[in-house]
């Protein structure tokens, strides 16, 4: 409950609500950051830490600590949200007790098992800043608060799926080479890598989206797979964080399947890196509480309006709009919702409401007694 129960409307300037939220947010990041300083070999992502400058990170943490103290004290002074100011100061005080920005970071092995705490921090800060600003500038539902109901549950999904990025990548990356090495044709791979960057990137996104379409449609139409995917469809409010509600097994399975064409066709690393960026941005943006007119582009690419209909509880929208990147794929296979300028009013699973806690989300897909004869039974 906490902040979620108290903050039920839009942020109001001057009440200490914004500063209280920032104090808790920054205080949490300060604590996570100092823990990562202590155990970089186990808590940082190898691909990401190559770009680090430790001194810059120390400076960023120092600024964050000072900002937390400012926001925390301001919130306490305003009074109404005093406990959030105290929470932010408490988290930062614990950070300082653990050494703060002065924790020494020496050489360490580069091949240890890890969880992506650093990736969690970076993606959380970047996504929250970028997409909250976009949602406030171009909202679909103007009265929907940032801290809407069940935001903390989606935050837990966000955190756990990011922390386990190492495990998910290990399983997914092993899938294609293990089962599809026979499908590699050097002549095809040479042709693919000889294409101009833009064409190769378009081909990569298109082919991956076709495999994504098959996987996504299977998650809806195969009953035992739907039990996993239902976790992703149970949010009744849509925003940038709602897309994070995803069962870990589904995350690994989908990622493994999409890697098959990327592996078999042998796309260049720069193209794959660009594709990963596109996936990351579009996956968050299309769940966001955003209303932007895309004109003719909506006939080509997946937009928030297109994907919101996929999450709609409207009978005409169930099991439609599967594509992740190109909307014309659904048109090609006859699974597109033709909504024109309309937007869905309600979201969630018809006839079923999952319990609002992470453990239930993880375990309930494996409990046959949970599923009754409604949309969730499939």
pLDDT of residue 12: 55
* pTM, 2 dp: 0.86
| Spatial distance between the Cα atoms of 309 and 344, rounded to a whole number of angstroms | 6
- Spacing of C-alpha 253 from chain mean position: 16
Mean pLDDT across 53-60: 93
pLDDT of residue 16: 65
**Does the pLDDT of residue 378 top 60, yes or no?**
no
Q: How confident is the model over 317-332, as pLDDT tens digits?
A: 999 999 999 999 999 9
CB–CB of 220/229 below 8 Å?
yes
Nearest residue to 124 via CA among 95, 154, 94, 99: 154
Nearest residue to 45 via CA among 123, 102, 148, 150: 123
Partnered with residue 312 across adjacent β-strands are 347
Nearest residue to 136 via CA among 291, 7, 287: 291
pLDDT of residue 5: 43
How far from 210 is each of 14, 215, 230, 281, 324, CA to CA, in Å?
49, 9, 21, 19, 9
- State the helix-helix crossing angle for 269-285 and 117-137, rounded to 10 degrees: 50
Nearest residue to 308 via CA among 226, 219, 221, 242: 242
| Spatial distance between the Cα atoms of 326 and 229, rounded to a whole number of angstroms | 21
**Does the pLDDT of residue 9 top 50, yes or no?**
no
Q: Rg (Cα) of the chain, in Å, rounded? A: 22
Q: How confident is the model over 95-118, as pLDDT tens digits?
A: 999 999 999 988 888 888 888 898
Nearest residue to 209 via CA among 296, 329, 298: 329
Q: Identify which of 4-8, 15-19, 294-298 has the greatest average pLDDT.
A: 294-298
Q: What is the mean pLDDT of the chain?
A: 89
The confidence band for 88, taking pLDDT boundaries of 50, 70 and 90, is: very high
CB–CB of 92/112 below 8 Å?
no
Share of the chain above pLDDT 90, in %: 70
Nearest residue to 339 via CA among 370, 378, 274, 294: 294
């Amino acid at each position: 409950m906490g902040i979620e129960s108290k903050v039920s409307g839009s942020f109001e300037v001057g009440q200490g609500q914004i500063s209280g939220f920032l104090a808790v947010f920054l205080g949490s990041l300060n604590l996570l950051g100092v823990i990562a300083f202590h155990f970089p070999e186990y808590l940082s992502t190898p691909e990401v830490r190559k770009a680090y400058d430790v001194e810059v990170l120390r400076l960023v943490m120092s600024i964050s600590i000072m900002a937390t103290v400012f926001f925390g004290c301001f919130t306490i002074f305003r009074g109404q949200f005093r406990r959030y100011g105290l929470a932010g100061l408490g988290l930062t005080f614990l950070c300082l007790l653990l050494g703060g920005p002065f924790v020494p970071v020496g050489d360490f092995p580069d091949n240890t098992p890890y969880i992506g705490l650093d990736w969690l921090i970076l993606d959380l800060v970047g996504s929250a800043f970028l997409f909250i600003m976009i949602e406030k500038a171009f909202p679909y539902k103007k009265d929907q608060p940032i801290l809407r109901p069940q935001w903390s549950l989606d935050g837990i999904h966000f955190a756990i799926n990011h922390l386990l990025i190492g495990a998910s990548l290990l399983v997914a990356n092993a899938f294609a080479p293990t089962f599809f090495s026979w499908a590699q044709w050097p002549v095809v791979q040479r042709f693919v890598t000889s294409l101009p960057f833009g064409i190769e990137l378009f081909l990569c996104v298109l082919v991956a989206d076709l495999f994504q379409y098959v996987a996504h449609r299977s998650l809806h139409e195969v009953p035992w797979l739907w039990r996993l995917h239902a976790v992703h469809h149970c949010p009744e409010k849509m925003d940038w964080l709602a897309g994070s509600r995803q069962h870990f097994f589904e995350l690994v399975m989908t990622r493994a399947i999409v890697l098959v064409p990327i592996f078999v066709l042998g796309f260049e690393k720069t193209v794959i890196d660009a594709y990963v960026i596109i996936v990351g941005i579009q996956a968050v943006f299309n769940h966001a509480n955003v209303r932007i007119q895309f004109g003719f582009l909506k006939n080509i690419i997946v937009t928030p309006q297109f994907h919101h209909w996929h999450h709609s509880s409207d009978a005409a929208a169930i099991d439609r709009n599967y594509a992740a990147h190109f909307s014309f794929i659904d048109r090609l296979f006859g699974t597109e919702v033709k909504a024109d300028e309309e937007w869905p009013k309600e979201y969630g699973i018809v006839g079923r409401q999952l319990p609002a806690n992470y453990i239930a989300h993880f375990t309930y897909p494996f409990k046959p007694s949970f599923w009754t004869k409604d949309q969730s039974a499939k």
